[in-house]
Homo-oligomer: A and B are copies of this chain.
Amino acid sequence: MIKLNFAGIRSREEMYRYLQGKLNLPESRGENLDNIYAMLSEASGRIHIIVEGLDKSRKRLGSNLDGVLKTLRDAEAVTENLTIEVREQIDAGKEWMDNPGVVEQSCAYSRPVLVETNEKPVPHNSQEGLMYRAEGRPYVRLRYPNAMNVQLQIGDMMYPFLETEKDVWTVTLPLEPGFYYTNLYVDNCLVLNPFLPIGYGFSRPVNYIEIGPVPDFFQMKDVPHGDIRHEYYNSSVTGRTETCIVYVPPGYEENRGSYPVLYLQHGFGENERGWVWQGKVNHIMDNLLAQGKAVPMLIVMANGMVMDETAEGETILRHNLFPEELVEDIIPFIEKKYRVKADRDFRAMAGLSMGSMQTSMTVCRYGELFGWEGLFSGFMHDCMGENQDNSFLEIMKDENFQKGLHLFFRAMGRQDEFWDRFAEDDTFCEENKIPCIRKEYEGGHDWNVWRQCIRDFLPLLFQDKEPLA
């Protein structure tokens, strides 16, 4: 292991002398980046170089330092046994790293930090999780003292970790900023790790990562914050007590007026907590409200993965029971407990993926209840299950029904695997002259697109209607 600490170095010349000594270069090869590259990429045996003190020397060394760093990385890329580990304090430009909009997960507000009861400071090198190299490249660092093999699966790609220090495994992720569900394999076993955030997807708790830089619109800002409520209601549809999450905008407790409501649904395998902890809808709404870009409203999120039992006692998903549960159980519960406007002009529904199908079903079947509709990565047609009955869509052909909808918002990521279905809905809308606001986003079938959908959808809701009264 070679440790390069640039903290005290004051000039280009001093830096090269330092590198020459540390890397054990012959004098003639010490003053040229090409020579450093050649030496490292030709070396035999495992070499692990730790780079420190970049923050404190960058001001003085500037592009010279960046040149050295790039050379080390270039050599690492072509040399199997070479590992470059850059350790650096978070610089001012990465404030978003600790923003609660980025860090908060359902079980914790802050990033987990292992501390001892004796109140000793936590050494920097004990930290685990997603980190960033000096140049901004994201990497994951996890401790597995007894592992033989650690891999991170993201989408279809498998990224192998290297044991870059004793017991410590790291992997650099060549990924664009954004939200990614991840599957971690330790010795080929799928596991969760406590130092990557834990959300809910694929019908179970699941690790994800949030790679920065993170856009402003879902970071927590110094603005008034709504609160997030766990409510419990009795469902006549499932026969159980169920839960929903309610975003209550800032000012609700102090004011006396009645509020409009958006019912907002997650996708297949997720749950009622997804829009807050993964979608960051509370921060998105807080920020829009602070900018005067949206009308204060409640946002109610329930569990669309309605489970039922077959005659044989087996568990089965009935996603198309949700419209009934919403109308029979959830809306009456909300309208009894909260000061809301019980009127279709002030009641909206939106959902992503499976939630968009449920939204389409609900708004078509209960048009008298909803005046605003949003389908994110969204399907007008129900395409889940085996016996799809899409007769509910007939009413969309009715011109009066169309006119009654104040907003019909459809959106899809351009790289979404279900693009063809969106195109089929396009055709359906054209053939039946169904007006809509139609958006395309760069991206796939994921939370990066859905966050943009809700950011663009919320400002369109309940505008030009009576103000709160």
Q: A residues near B, CB below 8 A? A: 89, 100, 104-110, 112-115, 117-124, 144-148, 186-189, 191-195, 198-200, 202-206, 220, 222, 225, 227-232, 234, 241-243, 253, 268-269, 271-273, 277, 303, 305, 307, 310, 312-319, 337-338, 384-386
When distances are taken between beta carbons in the complex, the residues of chain B under 8 Å from A206 are 194
**How long is the Cα–Cα vector from A359 to B243 in the complex, in angstroms?**
32
Whether A317 lies near B119 (C-beta < 8 A) is yes
**How long is the Cα–Cα vector from A313 to B89 in the complex, in angstroms?**
9
Whether A107 lies near B198 (C-beta < 8 A) is yes
Whether B268 lies near A109 (C-beta < 8 A) is no
**How long is the Cα–Cα vector from A229 to B225 in the complex, in angstroms?**
12
A187-B187, A192-B191, A199-B107 known; A228 vs B227 contact (CB < 8 Å): no
**How long is the Cα–Cα vector from A147 to B191 in the complex, in angstroms?**
11
A-B CB contact pairs (8 Å), 7 listed: A107-B277, A108-B271, A110-B307, A112-B204, A192-B198, A198-B205, A228-B230
- A386 to chain B minimum Cβ distance, whole angstroms, is 7
Q: For residue A192, which residue of chain B has the nearest CB? A: B192
- Pick from B118, B194, B222, B241: contact of A220, CB below 8 A: B241
Whether B205 lies near A108 (C-beta < 8 A) is yes
Q: A115-B203, A194-B205 are in contact. List 4 more A-B contacts (CB 8 A).
A: A119-B385, A121-B315, A147-B189, A191-B192
- A276 to chain B minimum Cβ distance, whole angstroms, is 8
**How long is the Cα–Cα vector from A191 to B272 in the complex, in angstroms?**
26
Whether A106 lies near B106 (C-beta < 8 A) is yes
**How long is the Cα–Cα vector from A148 to B147 in the complex, in angstroms?**
12
- Pick from B113, B194, B385: contact of A192, CB below 8 A: B194
Q: For residue A384, which residue of chain B has the nearest CB? A: B117
When distances are taken between beta carbons in the complex, the residues of chain B under 8 Å from A100 are 232, 241, 243
- A16 to chain B minimum Cβ distance, whole angstroms, is 29
Whether B120 lies near A316 (C-beta < 8 A) is yes
When distances are taken between beta carbons in the complex, the residues of chain B under 8 Å from A113 are 203, 307, 315
When distances are taken between beta carbons in the complex, the residues of chain B under 8 Å from A114 are 202-204
Whether A115 lies near B317 (C-beta < 8 A) is yes
Whether B121 lies near A384 (C-beta < 8 A) is no
When distances are taken between beta carbons in the complex, the residues of chain B under 8 Å from A191 are 186, 189, 191-193
Whether B109 lies near A271 (C-beta < 8 A) is yes
When distances are taken between beta carbons in the complex, the residues of chain B under 8 Å from A122 are 314-316
